[in-house]
Amino acid sequence: MMAIIGMFFQDGLTGSAWGDWAVYTASPLRAEPVSAAAAAAAAKAGAAAAGVGKAAAGAKAAAAGAKTVGATTAAGAGTGKSVAGEGEQPEPSPSFDPATEVGITQPLGYFDPAGFCKPGDLAGFRNLRAAEIKHGRVAMMAAVGAVVQHYVKFPGFEKVPAGLDAVTVAPGTYGFAALFAVAGALELGAWVEDPSKEPGNFGDPVGLNQYTLEMRDKELNNGRMAMFAALGIIAANIVTGKDAIEQFS
């Protein structure tokens, strides 16, 4: 249970998938990589000591290396992770303003009192927005499911209690394990973020043709409300022992 909570906490905090290796390679406990500037300076100094002829070749090689690092870093800017990896950070985009993005609606408008989204930090914003959409979608399904399970029982699950107790009583435990495995497979395999698309954009498999600014605003706002709703249902269930519907009585 602690492992599952930790994975959800890490996902919400970093916006990275549970098995994302970049979470570990970016750890402050790892040795800092040699920057492109330091490598170029070292190469230039070594070439100067070897002679004027070799200095020109060394400078040219250093410039090519710096260009390569810059290109790979820019390629990773869309995901917040450098293709070169190992601590490289994408260059900020001076023209990016999070206050003009989708999801800024009345009456609150742009609401970021903690200052998580920095102007110019497109990569950081993409990570946070992907995590917000993902958790909003899960919370909407969870809130609806918490209500439906009071009335509907699948075949073979008639004796499984409603509410959080469902995951502690077999076969509810097996159903939760299967759901967790399927969600992990979809997260790491099928629904992978595409740097060339907006965060959370996985196409339109049903063909509803509703990927508009209005619908994207509605999804974000409903997801935000659902996160509060799901958290409230869980908290009340823990305190009172009642499921989502019983809490009204």
- The rounded distance, in Å, linking the Cα atoms of 180 and 174 is 10
- The rounded distance, in Å, linking the Cα atoms of 163 and 244 is 7
Query: What's the whole-number mean pLDDT along residues 88-116?
Result: 84
Query: What's the whole-number mean pLDDT along residues 174-202?
Result: 89
DSSP codes, 68-137:
HHHHHHHHTTTTTS-SS-TT--PPP-TT--GGGSTT-BTTTBS--TT--SPTT-HHHHHHHHHHHHHHHH
pLDDT in the model for residue 187: 85
| pLDDT at 237 exceeding the cut of 70 | yes
pLDDT band with cut points at 50, 70 and 90 for residue 128 = very high
Q: Rounded to two decimals, what is the model's pTM?
A: 0.61
Residues in contact with 44: Cβ distance below 8 Å, sequence separation at least 6, in sequence order: 55, 58, 59, 62
- The rounded distance, in Å, linking the Cα atoms of 229 and 237 is 12
The candidate with the shortest Cα–Cα distance to 228, out of 147, 142, 164, is 142
pLDDT in the model for residue 222: 96
pLDDT band with cut points at 50, 70 and 90 for residue 215 = very high
Structure tokens at 114: 């903690």
Are 31 and 8 contacting, i.e. CB atoms less than 8 angstroms apart? Answer: no
Burial status of residue 167 (CB atoms within 10 A of its CB: 0-12, 13-18, 19 or more): middle
Residues in contact with 66: Cβ distance below 8 Å, sequence separation at least 6, in sequence order: 36, 37, 39, 40
